[in-house]
């Protein structure tokens, strides 16, 4: 309880510094007022030595009473602060993920796809007030998760993404972008954003990437594009073994950066190149900072006054002092 108490007028607590001076001054005055008589024993005077020893308790009670009054003056309170947030229309985001076999290349650790999933998971958790959806594409594209505010569903769907041969292999950038646009075109959000990631060139699908970019522009959907892969060569799948596993070999990293830059520029977004895990994480953090949702925070304060308790304690101490003076110490005084 004590750690919850705050003081509305803490400046009055400085008066407590005067208490030692008051004690010292009172001792000096009492010494001057009292006459000293040296005798071998006080038994003959009828005054019990115990009563003399505890007589200073009256002064202690008085000092405590003054301390309680000073604390009461400083207005001790228990303050309960509750906060309420009001979010304006947030941002609807669709993350379009390339799941072609080349995403298993090992120039990022442990591979491009798993590195992306780890970073995207952090990004999703940071977007507390926004709705997010997932689109996956290779030679074709489909919606993995519609735009939703349920982060647990999105993350579960993200973790399930893998290259499993269900859709045709290849890189249909136009299809992936068009599917993402389709998920956002009817959105009433303040801002609509697509984050499209690929590690190759457009070589599949029946929708031209530039046509898909025009479609995004017409619906005022900003697109951030990310080219994923190191410079030069990377260890990537080149064939499938008889047991169904991939055979890896060095292949040249080819990313159509000119196309990705064009899509981003046309829609008001930016193009990024991620050559390693750290750079990929930095890119998502940069996008996270650029696309902020406005959140208003309201604070409500409820102060419970506690000075009355200290005033009551002070009066009780004064009463006890008066009572002791009038009874137990009456003959002594």
pLDDT in tens, 234-277: 999 888 888 878 899 999 999 999 999 999 999 999 999 999 99
Q: If you average pLDDT over every residue of the chain, what do you get?
A: 85
Hey, how many other C-beta atoms are within 10 angstroms of the C-beta on 182?
Answer: 16
Q: How far apart are CA 142 and CA 138, in angstroms?
A: 9
Output the pLDDT for position 212.
97
Q: Rg (Cα) of the chain, in Å, rounded?
A: 39
pTM over 0.85: no
One domain for residues 150 and 200: yes
96 or 63: which leads in pLDDT:
96
The tokens describing 260, both together, are 């990705």
Q: Is the per-residue pLDDT at 289 higher than 60? A: yes
pLDDT at 44 over 60: no
CATH code for the domain in which residue 128 is found: 3.40.50.410
Q: Are residues 121 and 262 in the same domain?
A: yes
- Cβ–Cβ under 8 Å, residues 264 and 223: yes
**Could you tell me if 105 and 173 lie in one domain?**
yes
Position 133 in a domain: yes
- CB neighbour class for 320 (10 Å; exposed up to 12, middle 13-18, buried from 19): middle
Could you tell me the sign of the dihedral formed by the alpha carbons of 201, 206, 210, 212, in that order?
Answer: negative
pLDDT at 57: 80
Looking at the structure, do residues 140 and 180 belong to the same domain, yes or no? yes
- For residues 169 and 184, the model is more confident at 184
Q: At a CB cut-off of 8 Å and minimum separation 6, what does 237 contact?
A: 101, 102, 104, 105, 246, 247, 248
Is residue 149 located within the same domain as residue 263? Answer: yes
Kindly state the tokens that stand for 313. Answer: 């304690």
CA 21 to centroid of chain Cα atoms = 49
177 exposure class (CB count in 10 Å sphere: 0-12, 13-18, 19+):
buried
| 135 or 56, higher pLDDT | 135
Q: What is the pLDDT of residue 72?
A: 86
Is residue 38 a part of any domain in this protein? no
The distance of Cα 333 from the centroid of its chain, to the nearest Å, equals 65
User: What's the confidence (pLDDT) of residue 300?
Assistant: 65
Tell me if residue 226 falls in helix, strand or coil: strand
Helix, strand, or coil (residue 191): strand
pLDDT tens string 185-232: 999 888 999 999 999 999 999 999 999 999 999 999 999 999 999 999
């Amino acid at each position: 309880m004590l750690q919850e108490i705050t003081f509305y007028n803490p400046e009055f607590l400085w008066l407590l510094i005067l208490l030692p001076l008051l004690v010292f001054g009172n001792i000096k005055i009492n010494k001057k007022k009292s006459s000293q008589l040296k005798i071998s024993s006080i038994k003959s005077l009828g005054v019990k030595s115990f009563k003399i020893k505890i007589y200073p308790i009256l002064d202690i009670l008085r000092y405590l009473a003054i301390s309680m009054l000073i604390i009461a003056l400083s207005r001790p309170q228990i303050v309960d602060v509750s906060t309420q947030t009001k979010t304006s229309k947030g941002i609807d985001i669709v993350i379009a993920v390339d799941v072609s076999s080349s995403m298993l290349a090992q120039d990022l650790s442990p591979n491009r796809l798993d590195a992306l999933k780890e970073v995207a998971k952090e990004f999703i958790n940071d977007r507390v007030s926004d709705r997010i959806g997932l689109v996956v594409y290779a030679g074709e594209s489909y919606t993995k998760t519609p735009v939703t505010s349920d982060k647990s569903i999105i993350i579960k769907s993200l973790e399930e993404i893998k290259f499993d041969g269900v859709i045709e292999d290849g890189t249909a950038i136009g299809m992936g972008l068009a599917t993402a646009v389709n998920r956002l075109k009817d959105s009433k959000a303040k801002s609509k954003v697509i984050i499209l990631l690929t590690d190759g060139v457009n070589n599949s699908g029946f929708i031209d990437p530039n046509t898909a970019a025009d479609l995004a522009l017409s619906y005022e959907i900003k697109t951030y594009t990310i080219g994923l892969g190191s410079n030069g060569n990377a260890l990537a799948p080149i064939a499938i073994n008889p047991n169904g596993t991939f055979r890896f070999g060095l292949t040249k990293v080819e990313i159509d950066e000119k196309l990705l830059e064009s899509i981003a520029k046309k829609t008001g977004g930016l193009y990024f190149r991620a050559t390693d895990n750290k750079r990929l994480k930095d890119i998502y953090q940069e996008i996270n900072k650029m696309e902020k949702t406005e959140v208003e925070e309201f604070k409500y304060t409820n102060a419970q006054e506690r000075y009355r308790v200290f005033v009551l304690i002070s009066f009780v101490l004064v009463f006890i002092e008066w009572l002791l003076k009038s009874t137990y110490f009456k003959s002594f005084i």
